[in-house]
């Protein structure tokens, strides 16, 4: 078991322990960095994973990893320390749940094994549940294909002042694709646990990704590429046998848990991992983290989808029984929103929620079947729940589409004058290639509720939340192929409390 321990008041006395098993640790056993996440008002999860000297020679046995957390960056005012077991069965990852912390304040932490220390990470607890909070700041990001660019955006994100980073999926990519690669995966599509572990280790070797983790707590959800492109529940377009695919999914989910700052309570059981969750940030916001991959109905009109991936005449798409969240999560979400009591509701989720139909030459609309447009009845249900919440202001943050968007989420997308229920922002992709501005124009033209779109750009979104307004800035790097790239803010939007919808600032 991963031990939860908390000892206060012992000062800075901190002795590294001896490993309990011989194994070839890397010279820097913390070469994958440190991370924190799952921030509550009194607790946080600290993460690291021990690195083997050779990726082909995984560590064996159990290591005792020391950890310490303090109120200052020099780790002198220690508020907790202990030892956690890094076990082979969990890839020698370490997930320490520290509780007894004070709300809304930064802490610094570090790990050590065999006399070698990790980098020092900084984290931040959530404000107290009833605290009056004037301002919250989040970065939201998705889609960091390793081969298609460097993580300059993440370096800039590390330098921001944030309550948390919201990562909305495609943390790794299982496949190589795209053009003009700046670096290589070097291995093929992972399907086994050790292959997924090595893919995460490759991504996490990036210093800018490590910096963003070491600077802020992360709240994470996933999309498809953590497992397999465009998968839905127990099927992927490339793995049509559910029995076979669920084995891949189990390996992928385990590697995901091992590499994210998630608590032991979220450890996967076989091919299942409950990732959806809620967070409270004082009186200002409740944040709902959604999983729209694990439980969704299979893609509608599968044969058509695999041909050109857009759905035109597909009656199955409209089937009211099709689900995106699954029955259990849907009930959880409806219940949570009915009882929501923050000033704002925030939704962190993976795929574009606004309808984005492309008008074909024959006057018919074509829809991308893998996002919410493949599940319009489920989307309607979700937006009805949002509209009925006692909290009238909801901001949705989304990923997946590798472009920046600001959208009005309509009660009825076919009726431009219908009520705007919530406001959605997609914070581009960190590196993954997507829509050109040229391809994006017809979508903007054919869908008036898509209020802004930006392609050919990479970066992330920044949300500054106050009682009276939510301000969203799109941050884009000058050159995704340059690890030292600068960053700019090409667009900024305001959502006024009490009046959902996009306003250009």
**Binding positions for Ca ion, rule: CB under 5 A:** 170, 223-224, 400
Beta carbons within 8 Å of 182's beta carbon, 6+ residues apart: 147, 148, 149, 150, 481
Of residues 173 and 332, the one with the C-beta less far from Ca ion: 173
Residue 424, phi then psi, degrees to nearest 5: -120, 145
485 binds Fe ion (CB under 5 A): no
349 binds Fe ion (CB under 5 A): no
In the complex, the smallest distance separating the C-beta of residue 432 from Fe ion, rounded to whole angstroms, is 5
Binder of residue 224, out of Ca ion, Fe ion, none (CB less than 5 to 8 A by kind): Ca ion
DSSP 184: -
Task: Report the candidate in 242, 275, 276 with the shortest Cα–Cα distance to residue 256.
Answer: 275
In the complex, the smallest distance separating the C-beta of residue 222 from Fe ion, rounded to whole angstroms, is 11
Task: Report the candidate in 140, 5, 134, 107 with the shortest Cα–Cα distance to residue 64.
Answer: 5
432 binds Fe ion (CB under 5 A): yes
Of residues 223 and 373, the one with the C-beta less far from Ca ion: 223
Cα–Cα distance between 65 and 59 in angstroms, integer? 14
Encoding tokens for residue 178?
A: 């795209």
Ranges of beta strands (E only) in 213-355 are 217-220, 277-281, 285-289, 310-311, 344-348
In the complex, the smallest distance separating the C-beta of residue 278 from Ca ion, rounded to whole angstroms, is 23
Is 143 in contact with 430 (CB distance < 8 Å)? yes
In the complex, the smallest distance separating the C-beta of residue 31 from Fe ion, rounded to whole angstroms, is 26
Judged by CB under 5 A, the residue of 25, 84, 143, 450 near Fe ion is 143
Of residues 40 and 402, the one with the C-beta less far from Ca ion: 402
Coil, helix or strand at residue 464:
strand
Of residues 36 and 433, the one with the C-beta less far from Ca ion: 433
Binder of residue 432, out of Fe ion, Ca ion, none (CB less than 5 to 8 A by kind): Fe ion
Of residues 78 and 143, the one with the C-beta less far from Fe ion: 143
Is 36 in contact with 109 (CB distance < 8 Å)? yes
Binder of residue 230, out of Ca ion, Fe ion, none (CB less than 5 to 8 A by kind): none
Binder of residue 408, out of Ca ion, Fe ion, none (CB less than 5 to 8 A by kind): none
Taking phi first (over 0 means left), then psi (-120 to 50 degrees means alpha), and beta for anything else, what does residue 46 get? beta
In the complex, the smallest distance separating the C-beta of residue 400 from Ca ion, rounded to whole angstroms, is 4
Judged by CB under 5 A, the residue of 97, 170, 233, 370 near Fe ion is 170
User: Using only C-alpha atoms, what is the Rg of the chain?
Assistant: 22
The site for Fe ion, by CB under 5 A, has a size of 3
97 binds Fe ion (CB under 5 A): no
In the complex, the smallest distance separating the C-beta of residue 58 from Fe ion, rounded to whole angstroms, is 28
Burial class (CB in 10 A: 0-12, 13-18, 19+), 417: exposed
DSSP 113-153: ETTEE-PPEEEEPPPPTT---S-EEEEEE----GGG---HH
Of residues 231 and 333, the one with the C-beta less far from Fe ion: 231
Enumerate residues 256-295 that contact Fe ion by CB under 5 A. none
41 binds Fe ion (CB under 5 A): no
In the complex, the smallest distance separating the C-beta of residue 467 from Fe ion, rounded to whole angstroms, is 33
Provide the binding-site residues for Fe ion, judged by CB under 5 A: 143, 170, 432
């Amino acid at each position: 078991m991963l031990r939860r321990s908390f000892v206060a008041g012992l000062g800075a006395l901190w002795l590294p322990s001896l490993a309990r098993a011989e194994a070839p640790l890397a010279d820097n056993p913390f070469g994958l960095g440190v991370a924190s996440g799952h921030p509550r008002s009194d607790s946080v999860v600290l993460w690291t994973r021990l690195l083997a000297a050779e990726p082909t020679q995984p560590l064996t046995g159990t290591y005792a990893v020391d950890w310490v957390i303090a109120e200052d960056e020099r780790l002198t005012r220690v508020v907790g320390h202990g030892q956690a077991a890094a076990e082979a069965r969990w890839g020698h990852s370490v997930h320490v749940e520290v509780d007894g912390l004070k709300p809304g304040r930064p802490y610094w932490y570090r790990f050590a094994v065999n006399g070698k220390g990790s980098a020092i990470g900084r984290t931040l607890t959530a404000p107290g549940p009833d605290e009056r909070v004037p301002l919250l700041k989040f970065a939201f990001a998705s889609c960091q294909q390793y081969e298609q660019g460097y993580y300059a955006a993440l370096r800039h994100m590390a330098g921001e002042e944030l309550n948390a980073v919201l990562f909305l999926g495609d943390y790794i990519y299982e496949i190589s694709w795209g053009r003009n690669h700046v670096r290589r995966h070097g291995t093929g599509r992972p399907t086994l646990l050790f292959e997924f572990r090595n893919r995460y280790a490759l991504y996490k070797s990036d210093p800018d990704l490590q910096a963003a983790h070491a600077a802020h707590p992360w709240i994470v959800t996933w999309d498809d590429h953590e497992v397999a492109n465009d998968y839905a529940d127990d099927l992927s377009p490339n793995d049509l046998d559910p029995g076979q695919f669920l084995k891949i999914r189990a390996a992928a989910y385990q590697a995901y848990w091992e590499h994210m700052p998630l608590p032991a309570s979220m450890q996967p059981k076989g091919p299942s991992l409950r990732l959806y969750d809620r967070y409270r940030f004082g009186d200002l916001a409740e944040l709902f983290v959604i999983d729209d991959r694990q439980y969704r109905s299979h893609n509608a009109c599968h044969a058509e989808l695999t041909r050109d991936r857009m759905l035109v005449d597909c009656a199955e798409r409209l089937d009211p029984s099709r689900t995106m969240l699954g029955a259990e999560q849907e009930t959880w979400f409806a219940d949570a929103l009915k009882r929501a009591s923050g000033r704002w509701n925030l939704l962190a989720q993976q795929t574009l929620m606004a309808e984005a139909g492309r008008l074909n030459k024959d006057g018919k609309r074509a829809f991308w079947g893998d996002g919410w447009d493949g599940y319009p009845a489920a989307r309607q249900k979700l937006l009805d729940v949002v509209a009925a919440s006692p909290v009238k202001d909801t901001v949705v943050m989304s990923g997946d589409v590798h472009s920046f968007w600001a959208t009005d989420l309509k009660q009825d997308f076919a009726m431009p004058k219908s009520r705007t229920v919530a406001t959605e922002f997609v914070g581009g992709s960190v590196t993954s290639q997507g829509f050109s501005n040229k391809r994006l124009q017809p979508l903007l033209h054919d869908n008036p509720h898509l209020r802004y779109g930006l392609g050919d750009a990479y970066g992330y979104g920044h949300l500054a939340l106050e009682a009276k307004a939510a301000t969203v800035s799109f941050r884009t790097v000058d050159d995704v192929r340059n690890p030292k790239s600068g960053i700019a803010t090409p667009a900024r939007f305001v959502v006024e409390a009490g009046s959902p919808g996009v306003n250009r600032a």
